[in-house]
Amino acid sequence: MEDTNCCPHPQSWEKTQKADSYRPISLLSTISKQTEAIILQRLTTITEEKLISYQFGFRKKLSTTDQLLRMTEIIRENLENGRDTGAVFIDIVKAFEKVWMEGLIYKMIVMSIPDGLIKLMNS
């Protein structure tokens, strides 16, 4: 969306010898930061009521702690009722770098994101 200066930042201060232990940090201009804040606010307003109630990631006032509490309650309830509980945990490495843009755009269309925002996100 804009020109940035990227600086390598170590993911952990202990293992700084390997190139893959660094992640890029973008140094953005103030105007870019403000523009992104406005876009985020608009996207959040549009999508917040359309997300399922159990979507906890990247939402205000919800965290992994909330999801852990929900899961603990489900396990307790199943134990009390003699039912098994299964769980699958996925950690997608470099998820943001591997986003399928066509799929993301499709989801934005399905969620009735305005065309202008979709075009902006796709640029």
pLDDT in tens, 20-36: 777 777 776 778 788 88
pLDDT digits (tens, 9 = 90+) for 30-78: 787 888 889 889 998 998 888 888 888 778 888 888 889 999 999 999 9
pLDDT score recorded for residue 13: 66
pTM of the model: 0.56
Q: Which residue has the tokens 């293992």?
A: 15
Top-confidence residue, 109 or 12: 109
Looking at residue 74, what is its pLDDT? 96
Distance CA 20, CA 44 (A): 32
Mean pLDDT across the chain? 84
